[in-house]
Structure 1
Amino acid sequence: MEHRTLGSSGCAVSTYALGTMTFGAETDEAGSHAQLDAFVEAGGTLVDTADVYTAGTSEEIIGRWLAARPAEVRDSVVLATKGRFPMGEGPNDVGLSRRHLQRALDASLRRLGVDEVDEYQVHSWDPLTPLEETLSTLDDAVRAGKVRYVGLSNYTGWQVQKAVAVARELGLSAPVTLQPQYNLLVREVEWEVVPSCLDAGLGLLPWSPLGGGWLTGKYTREERPTGATRLGEDPERGVEAYGRRSVQQRTWDVIDAVRSIADARGVPMSQVALAWLVDRPSVTSVILGARTLEQLQDNLGAAGLHLGAEETAALDAASDPAPADYPYGGPGVQQRSRPVEGGRGPRRR
């Protein structure tokens, strides 16, 4: 497993992270522990969770796994969690206020069975709480030794810029990473979010790298999802999500391009999609979310896989969202679907 720094920080993490949203929901405790063991054995270090994942159960499962493993395994894990979403029925059981964040962080530490997490991330923007209140609360947690690094999740480009600018202006701990949805079917983040992160030196921790299973090739033009797939097991979600994406010709162009490269290389389609994403500008680590150990092992096969220039160009062309309107494109405007190079992003170790 290769390693990169966590954004512009000095902390090194594996280029693939283990996402744990399935723990306690789609994956039982034994299966979750098996995934954690396999991930660490493959050289993975970054484990990502959140308090809202199965109402805290995901963190509890990870905590019990950590407690049962030897010190060298515990020490190898770079542990990240998140807070912001509702963890109760009260009006202060949600958001990025000082009151909620302090309580949410302490509760996460208890569930995880640790005194400190390596990274604490705000799960999304909170329009009701002053940004200064949120950032100063996170800085207090760093100074108190409860958090080593601060991160963002699901922020837009202007929100990233504002958070970084305010933190630096006030001398507070600035965020080092952003978690966005990013994959071959969702590249719109390249218009403003990725350039914002490059400019500010944030590393990307993309979630949903396989587009909810689409980039594995499991869905076809001819048949709606059924059976043991995320869309197949939830008929209402399946019909809506499949219908929205299946009518776009770009979806099938991307899948065909991924399949062509996978067939030529003799590897699963999922590994090609992951290899494309892991080498995008500003990416620190790609978050793998699996329901089963077999799915995780398949994804971990992408470690060390890098695509050639022609393969990358073919995937870029098939997946280009091609903005047609100002200010991203159109007459007299240089169209740019790929982010600008530069910035102070993650560095290879």
Structure 2
Amino acid sequence: MQFLSDNAASVHPAVWEAMKAADAPDAPYDGDGVSQRLDDAFGEVFGRECAALWVATGTAANCLALSALVQPHGGVVCHREAHIEQDECGAPGFYLHGAKLMLAEGESAKLTPDTVRAVIDPIRDDVHQVQPHAVSITQASEYGCSYRPGEIAAIADLAKERGLGLHMDGARFANACAFLGGSAAEAASAVDALSFGFVKNGGMSAEAIIFFDRELADIARYRRKRAGHLQSKGRYLAAQLLAMLDKDLWLANARAANGAAQEVAGAAGDRLMHPVEANEIFLKCTPQERDAVRAQGFDFYDWGEGAARLVTAWNTPQDHAIKLAKAIASL
């Protein structure tokens, strides 16, 4: 019974069907009819004009988005636990040609205006120090916690005041939207660029970079090509994204994953290390307790010496979630 990662989940049948439907001659790269529909489709989701670019991975989505906001001599303020810092093998430095990640603190892996100020205020305004050019936040955070619209707005106000771009790593953006219960626009309020994750939520090999400033999108198009991410048959990536947007499948999948996570979290009690506001559960448990749960047929990651991370997916069977909850409750 699989709780390792939503990256390991299967592809939603609607995505396969959409790729089959796109399997006909069309213009190459992003000039095809399917790719041309993305801007309007995402514009409907966010309720405002935007430009949408497909790429194959979340790492590329994050780094290409940031590359449009940050010069090589600049920096990106992010949480110490941010994916771009911990899990992208130095890709931000590679794509941003040496720009620096400036690490901030914050409860539940979330930034606040105060923790951002703690990083940027001591920086002298001269050529001898790296200047911040952007802030990057993660929705939902690396600990599975969701930024409320007011929290994002407060960071956005600070970013605007200091002339900084605001990027959102939305690898689990759908899960945050499902938890918050509001609109996608509210869950990504006031950001300049969003990496909208689909692979974790039932997609196969397509992620979206959403720009709310077309000039930034135009910069990113060139950088996408230079980085080797302008695929010659881009219609297959675009088809995946449109299939997930159709009838809000992306949101339905996220609700299913979140529901399974809540089933498990309900049995965890004071073992929970963070609030469960998406589809990740972090538990305090000893190595012996982890062994006992694994012995009952469950697979998940250790998270340091005395913890475990459990991740549900859009297709996690309900009975698997119930069985896991019982196994945790019995420890």
Q: Normalized against structure 2, the TM-score is what?
A: 0.32
The higher-RCO structure (CA 8 Å, 6+ apart) is: 2
Q: Normalized against structure 1, the TM-score is what?
A: 0.31
